Amino acid sequence: MTTQLAASATDAGSRRPAGEGAHRTPSAGRPPARRRLENWRIRGELAILLGPALVVFVSFVILPVALAAYYGFYKWSGFGTPVDFVGIRNYVTILTDPAFHEALGHNAFIVVGSLVLQGPLALGLALLLNRKMRAQSLIRVLIFVPYVISEVVVGLGWGLMLQSGGALNGALEKIGLGALRADWISDPALAIWTLLIIITWKYIGFAVILFLAGLQGIPEELSEAAAIDGASYWQIQRHIVLPLMGPTIRIWAFLSIIGSLQLFDLVWIIWGQYVASTAGTSTMATYMVANGRNAGSFGYGSAVAVVMFLISLAVALIYQRFVLRRDTAGALTGGTK
């Protein structure tokens, strides 16, 4: 009888699921003090790695925005502590000022114009330069050179060439096209288009290099397989290359939009404070400097800076929500399935 009970116990033990007890993690048996030590070690590593970046971000981004929002509620000349509290009067003035509306419209025009003009042109150049050709590296360098030239040099150079008696009108006279002479800078009907062309010349090199980097990441096997199946060059570009270039194009468009909303240096250098408003090339940034620092009203200028920040932030959030969502969804970790 005793032998039978022992055999039954042995059989029951052998029938126990093999995975029973295997779900215990190694850390489950660790002492609480050791687990706390590991948690503090992880927190210390995060603080060391992220601390300097957070300090720089807070000091040079969050704090200036907060101070600008604070000064925007005062009528402040820039000296001493602001004491003349005006509430939201500065913001009401900004939102009801026709000059600010005009500047905002110019920014919107530059945003749309840059996307429509630079995008297809840069993509075409990138597709051309992605093929094997003579002096390929030299052509890439020449296209990228305008992007690395200082905005001051670009503004002064174009400003001198586009004056009424400048090099462009002089060249038109020399080749018998004097009828095409124009006031490229001061004519309100032409100045905004002149600005758009200068911006395209200046920044198209960045777009071309970015698109070339995206093209280098597309496997050549896809194009070769499509060519074997009988697809033409343009069919390959349309149905294979362009869809795979989508993330790169969307990132470039985002950078172009934000840069166009913050445009200042080229306009200020070429047109200046007063010509920009009369020639129809003023932007939100030039409006801020002209009506803030140059007018001795730093409180009003701070309010304009806050409005610019909110507009840029709203555009960035909307773009990320509806355009970049497909690109950022795969990069997020820790989400639930």
Q: Which residues is 74 bridged to in the sheet?
A: 85
pLDDT mean across residues, the chain: 85
pLDDT at residue number 30: 59
> Which domains are present in the chain?
89-322 (1.10.3720.10)
Tell me the residue length of the chain.
337
pLDDT at residue number 133: 80
- Look-up of token digits 């720089």: 56
The yes-or-no verdict on residue 7 having pLDDT over 50 is no
- Look-up of token digits 């957070």: 54
Q: What is the mean pLDDT of residues 45-74?
A: 90
The yes-or-no verdict on residue 6 having pLDDT over 80 is no
Q: What is the mean pLDDT of residues 324-330?
A: 72
Tokens at residue 197, please? Answer: 């062309």
pLDDT at residue number 29: 55
DSSP, collapsed to helix, strand or coil, labels residue 85 as strand
For the chain, the C-alpha Rg in angstroms (whole number) is 31
Confidence of residue 302 (pLDDT cuts 50, 70, 90): very high
Tell me the backbone φ, ψ of residue 77, rounded to 5 degrees: -90, -5
Tokens at residue 229, please? Answer: 């199946």
- What counts of helices (H) and strands (E) characterise the chain? 18, 0
pTM beyond cutoff 0.85: no
